[in-house]
Chain A
């Protein structure tokens, strides 16, 4: 637990309470709410885009913008999930289960406000986890030597691969591809050039912000451009009905919110497991313990709030593992690590020793962002519904132009822009052929850490140095089980279904 009277704590809080930082927080909220509200624009894409222009800011201000976008997107994405049955970001998948049925029943207003309350409760719970767990976690990780650090990187990578929607081999290949990209430039130990092909700009390595923007920003837009035949817009539900929930409803929601907060906090601490999975797990847990199981999936406020509370509660844990271990909690945090490295902040066990005020800055930014976004979400804004009807073509133009200019602004380099364009073509190929981009980006960012620690460990005592370290062995075993267990579970399930003679429908005509 942090000693709140210690000066780094107050320093961190005061750094956030500066007027200019507060303005950036408000800016981040506006961007985040819009990003969340537009289906097809994920928080990862928005943060990749924003990293282009935040890199010129002070670290606290830049972090304020990026973290606030992340927080606000978790509120904004509920709007299309409830009114359109389309999740604004993956975190709101569980919101559609009950949110849209509630909207169809004329309870859209209540669904939006209870969802916002649930999200705020989850977020505050997650922030508490961040405040409590981050420093002890980093203190524990300070004991890590090269074998443990290598195992930690492998653990982070495989966890991200393990949750890559069942595409484990392609996830591993994407991770290996990212690791290969990270070898371009100077060798981390000897300084010899590798894969530079005589191109001077590649001596410093592949510019990872450009790659991130290409993978998460332009590639997704290009895929929409080449596949959409016509603008097909579902009409959002516009009848809001009652807006604010009464005390009786709020009392009924206390239990599912509690289930969601606990589920999300635990899930959030596992690297690479995001709010989408946490929301679905909590929705299922709330259903099991509810007295009104029959309402779940047909319009249950309990299901709605359990999922939303859980998906936002992951944020605190995700930020904690990212900062304390240097292993991103999810793809958004992987992008954020890239920005932080440009600012000279290296997430990892030593982070809170070198930047003791950072933890209180992070907590303060997220708390202010949560409160302001909750207030904004409770305002009855008819304009939000209008936004859902905005055709995608305007978003495409904005995203493409922003990606180009944003990439250039990182280091005023046209080379970076062309790297981004090549990365977007590679990202498009990966999207079309089912390679997840998250592990590739993670490999690119964590590659030097993995390589240098593996080589140091091997030089010290060969492979024995890794397999005689209990921490490294445990991390590698968890990583291995994350890769092996999901397909095994699927295999067992398929055999069970086959033995029952169930004829499962294929989704493809």
Chain B
């Protein structure tokens, strides 16, 4: 692998992103450009939302530039950036490094299950013993992500629970 291709290959999440290079030809496929309407809508929608809610800010102190000045300025900025994105990304095309890895059904299911487990984990902190609920959630997550065998499904969650209990409950005295 050459130096150049090595730089370009690191675009996955959690990995270094690629530096802009000469060979970053824009991807002009229609689906990729239409997908960019989501960030456009988000920027403009969020900007409008900020402007609307900024009008509700009531200042008790009569000052020249009140509390709504700065948020309003940012709201207008977001709308401008959203409009610029139409010209830069929707009309021209997307850089290859900005195209994320495709989603897959099993991944989305794992994501939903993870979210439910983590919400349950927080809600049960004050109901069950911390080490016990940590063990159960670690076990469930490890199994969900594909680990099999007693070492992976039992020993690893047990180790995680013990370390967390020692660090947070015994050493840092966090009331868990």
Contacts and interface: CB of A to CB of B under 8 A. Distances in A.
A169 B84 contact: yes
Interface residues of B, number: 98
Interface string B112-124: 0011001101100
B106 to A, nearest CB: 8
Contact of A225 (B25, B84, B107): B107
Contact of A220 (B13, B16, B78, B152): B13
A222 interface: yes
A166 B114 CA distance: 33
A198 to B, nearest CB: 12
Nearest to A432: B100
A42 B17 CA distance: 12
Interface string A482-509: 0000100010010001000000111110
Interface in A70-115: 85-87, 89-90, 93, 96-98, 100
Interface stretch (A124-132, A380-388, A405-413): A405-413
B114 A490 contact: no
Given A227-B102, A412-B175, A179 B74 contact: yes
Interface stretch (A189-197, A261-269, A370-378, A469-477): A189-197
A348 interface: no
Interface string B91-117: 000111111111110111011001100
B48 interface: no
Given A85-B6, A173-B82, A405-B164, A224 B14 contact: yes
Contact of B174 (A187, A401, A408): A408
Contacts of A486: 20
B129 interface: no
Contact of B81 (A169, A402, A412): A169
A508 B42 CA distance: 25
Interface in B143-157: 145-147, 152, 156-157
Nearest to B63: A190
Nearest to B64: A459
The 3 closest A-B pairs by CB, nearest first: A90-B16, A393-B145, A166-B20
26 contacts: A56-B172, A97-B3, A169-B89, A173-B43, A180-B75, A183-B70, A189-B63, A189-B67, A192-B58, A227-B102, A283-B3, A393-B142, A397-B145, A401-B141, A409-B172, A412-B174, A421-B115, A429-B42, A433-B36, A433-B100, A434-B94, A434-B100, A455-B65, A497-B22, A506-B96, A507-B8
Interface of A: 39-42, 45, 53, 56, 85-87, 89-90, 93, 96-98, 100, 165-167, 169-170, 172-173, 176-177, 179-180, 183, 187, 189-192, 194-195, 220-229, 231, 276-277, 280, 283, 296-297, 391, 393-394, 396-398, 400-402, 404-405, 408-409, 412, 414, 417-418, 421, 429, 431-435, 451, 454-455, 458-459, 486, 490, 493, 497, 504-508
Given A226-B104, A507-B25, 17 more contacts: A56-B173, A90-B16, A165-B17, A173-B43, A190-B67, A191-B61, A226-B103, A229-B107, A280-B7, A397-B138, A408-B176, A417-B122, A418-B122, A432-B100, A434-B39, A434-B98, A507-B96
Interface of B: 1-3, 6-8, 10, 13-20, 22-25, 27, 29, 32, 36, 38-39, 42-43, 46, 50, 53-54, 57-61, 63-71, 74-75, 77-78, 81-82, 84-85, 88-89, 94-104, 106-108, 110-111, 114-115, 118-119, 121-122, 125, 134, 137-138, 141-142, 145-147, 152, 156-157, 160, 164, 167-168, 172-176
